[in-house]
With several copies, the nearest count.
Chain A
Amino acid sequence: MIRVQAEDFDVGRELEKLSDGNHGVGGVCSFVGLVRDIAGDKTIKAMTLEHYPEMTEPALAKIEAEAHDRWPLEETLIIHRYGRLEPGDRIVLVAAASAHREAAFEACHFLIDWLKTQAPFWKLEETPDGGQWVDARSSDGRAAERWLADKPQDKPQDKPQDKPKGKPGAAE
């Protein structure tokens, strides 16, 4: 499930939908990203998230499909906000529901890492020195790249029953 919106979201209600009526779900891992009031050594009064609407939803759909190819997931969710947000405001929610907790954790981690490098959003921070566009962090690039090493050579026809090789974590 994908949503791109200016409005806030209700985390509890959104997570509940991932397992609602599906008693095969054993675990739901989620990550909520929030606006901090500090970036480096600067105070942030607010930030404005710009995006490329025609591209955003297809990009998120691709990231979500990739997660389902890699792990046995029951459901996934990506909600990303745009517009002006203040410290403490929610920016993004990603979540993965699976029968198994390792798959839920890894898929959720993958979703946020890939979203940070693949989804067309840009942040403008309001600092005491005026508006500043946030620089992409090389650490985000590395975080996304580590999933490339795990990419299956041949995509299975069905959901893979084995967890991806080379990732940490024990089988459930």
Chain B
Amino acid sequence: MKILYFAWLREKAGIAEEDVSPPETVTTVAELVEWMKSRGGGFAEAFADEGMVRVAVNQEHVRTDHPVAAGDEIAFFPPITGG
């Protein structure tokens, strides 16, 4: 699956975009986040305060119980501050 990071999540993760292949046990956004944190370093830091992380799966805002699968585009970002 393709992962995108925006704003300070991008800065903390140290990467804007990557392709990942998490284990098969990762089937939801919440499980993906846990796996991300387990990678340590900038990823652990980016997801340290989960309350500040928003997620879109295939360009749609979703909750953390939303399923994720191979081929999905998953974007992590802080709360929106446009307008």
The reply, when asked whether chain A contacts chain B directly with Cβ atoms under 8 A, is yes
Report which A residues bind B (CB closer than 8 A). 33, 49-52, 54-55, 58-59, 80, 91-92, 112, 115-124, 133-137, 140
B: contact size bracket: 10 to 19
What's the least CB distance linking A27 to chain B, in Å? 9
Q: Are A54 and B73 in contact (CB under 8 A)?
A: yes
Q: A54-B73, A58-B59, A120-B56 are in contact. Are A133 and B7 (CB under 8 A)?
A: yes
Count the A-B residue pairs with Cβ separation under 8 angstroms: how many? 70
Q: How far apart are the CA atoms of A75 and B39 in the complex, in Å?
A: 49
Question: Which of B8, B61, B75, B82 meets A133, CB within 8 Å?
Answer: B8
Tell me, yes or no, whether B35 is within 8 Å of chain A by CB.
no
Given contacts A121-B80, A134-B81, 17 further A-B contacts (CB under 8 A): A50-B6, A52-B6, A52-B56, A52-B77, A55-B56, A59-B59, A92-B82, A115-B83, A119-B82, A120-B6, A120-B75, A121-B82, A122-B77, A122-B82, A133-B7, A136-B78, A136-B80
What chain B residues lie within 8 Å of A91 (beta carbons)?
A: 83
What chain B residues lie within 8 Å of A137 (beta carbons)?
A: 81
Q: How far apart are the CA atoms of A137 and B79 in the complex, in Å?
A: 9
What chain A residues lie within 8 Å of B32 (beta carbons)?
A: none
Tell me, yes or no, whether B44 is within 8 Å of chain A by CB.
no
- Smallest Cβ-Cβ distance to A131: which chain B residue: B11
Tell me, yes or no, whether B26 is within 8 Å of chain A by CB.
no
Q: How far apart are the CA atoms of A103 and B12 in the complex, in Å?
A: 36
What's the least CB distance linking B28 to chain A, in Å? 20
